[in-house]
């Protein structure tokens, strides 16, 4: 019998990013199995075994942790097949947007140990951030295991109030798309200002990526870094008068985050 180990259910972009981080860091309890009918080439690294369905797992396999990384829309069809692992004491870790602790308890049993998480796509390069929320059945050791797993792909934070996960989803879960859109818009603005298309794209991409790295490395706040690059009455100040106006970036992002948080709640049903 194989006791312990990790079972990853779903190996798409987020699942494969986490799996690569776990295997590189040696943070996953062995053995490691993946349930994925059609894994992308290279998605399952050496040291992990992939099967097409839960029924194809080795007889007697009883994982210490089951990570649910399928899309929220298919969870109803997927989760019930794993309830038997809850009965044997497995920790369940979900990365699905909108699916609540109560949702998983309905499918897995009231005594199931469940951690709901919200990672983001920079986990693919080890620079993600994940917020986690545990139910009352999660032990200290299981919480430490969940923390170790998510730390393999970036920073980790914990919240006690599950309602905060909707806001987390809207800020950091969806947030990389906002940064990518900023790069798109900067490139387009450069083209409209007369720059060649390829140069505008390079300038925008490198600027957003470089500013992000500076923010990552600097001990100063984002506000201070902004002030550092803004000379009085200079070009940056002129641009910021537009971006920081009453109808500028802040109210726009407020509405965007509110819309994403609302959709997260809708996904919960």
Q: What is the pLDDT of residue 1?
A: 42
- Cα dihedral value 220, 222, 223, 224, nearest 10: 30
- Last residue of one domain, picked from the residues 165, 197, 221: 165
Distance CA 247, CA 258 (A): 16
Q: What is the pLDDT of residue 18?
A: 92
Tens of pLDDT along the chain (269 residues) come to 455 899 999 999 899 999 999 998 888 899 999 999 999 999 999 999 999 999 999 998 999 999 999 988 899 999 999 999 999 999 999 998 889 999 999 999 999 999 999 999 898 888 999 999 999 999 999 999 999 999 999 999 999 999 999 999 999 999 999 999 999 999 999 999 999 999 999 999 999 999 999 999 999 999 999 999 999 999 999 999 999 999 999 999 999 999 999 998 887 76
Residues 231, 250, single domain; the answer is yes
Find where tokens 């923010």 sit: 215
Distance CA 122, CA 180 (A): 12
Residues 55, 92, single domain; the answer is yes
Residues 102, 224, single domain; the answer is no
Distance CA 3, CA 30 (A): 9
Q: State the Rg of the chain over Cα.
A: 21
Q: What is the pLDDT of residue 111?
A: 96
Q: Is residue 1 part of a domain?
A: no
CA atoms within a 13 Å half-sphere pointing along the CA-CB vector of 70: 20
Range of the domain at 145: 6-165
The two tokens of residue 22 are: 């776990």
The enclosing domain of 242 has a CATH number of 1.10.3730.10
Residues 85, 203, single domain; the answer is no
pTM for the model stands at 0.88
Sign of CA dihedral 252, 253, 255, 259: positive
- DSSP one-letter code for 219: S
Residues 136, 47, single domain; the answer is yes
Residues 36, 100, single domain; the answer is yes
Q: What is the pLDDT of residue 3?
A: 59
Q: What is the pLDDT of residue 260?
A: 94
**Residue 163 in contact with residue 151, Cβ under 8 Å?**
no
Residues 151, 236, single domain; the answer is no
């Amino acid at each position: 019998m194989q006791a312990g180990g990790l079972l990853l259910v779903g190996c798409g972009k987020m699942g494969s990013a986490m799996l690569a981080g776990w295997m590189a860091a040696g943070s996953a309890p062995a053995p490691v199995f993946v349930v994925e009918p059609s894994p992308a080439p290279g998605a399952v690294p050496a040291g992990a075994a992939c099967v097409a369905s839960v029924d194809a797992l080795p007889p007697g396999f009883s994982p210490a942790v089951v990570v649910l990384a399928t899309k929220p829309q298919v969870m109803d069809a997927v989760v019930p097949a794993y309830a038997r692992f809850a009965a044997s004491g497995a920790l369940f870790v979900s990365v699905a947007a909108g699916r609540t602790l109560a949702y998983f308890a309905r499918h897995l049993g009231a005594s199931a140990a469940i951690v709901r998480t919200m990672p983001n796509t920079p986990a693919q390069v080890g620079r993600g951030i994940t917020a986690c929320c545990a139910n009352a059945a999660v032990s200290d050791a299981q919480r430490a295991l969940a923390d170790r797993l998510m730390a393999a792909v970036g920073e980790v934070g914990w919240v006690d109030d599950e309602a905060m996960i909707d806001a987390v989803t809207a800020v950091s879960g969806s947030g990389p798309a906002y940064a990518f859109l900023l790069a798109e818009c900067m490139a387009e603005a450069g083209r409209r200002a007369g720059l060649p298309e390829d140069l505008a794209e390079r300038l925008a991409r490198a600027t957003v990526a470089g500013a992000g790295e500076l923010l990552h490395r600097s001990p100063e706040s984002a506000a201070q870094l902004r002030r550092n690059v803004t000379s009085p009455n200079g070009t940056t100040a002129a641009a910021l008068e537009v971006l920081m106006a009453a109808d500028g970036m802040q109210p726009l992002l407020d509405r965007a985050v509110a819309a994403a948080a609302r959709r997260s709640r809708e996904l919960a049903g």
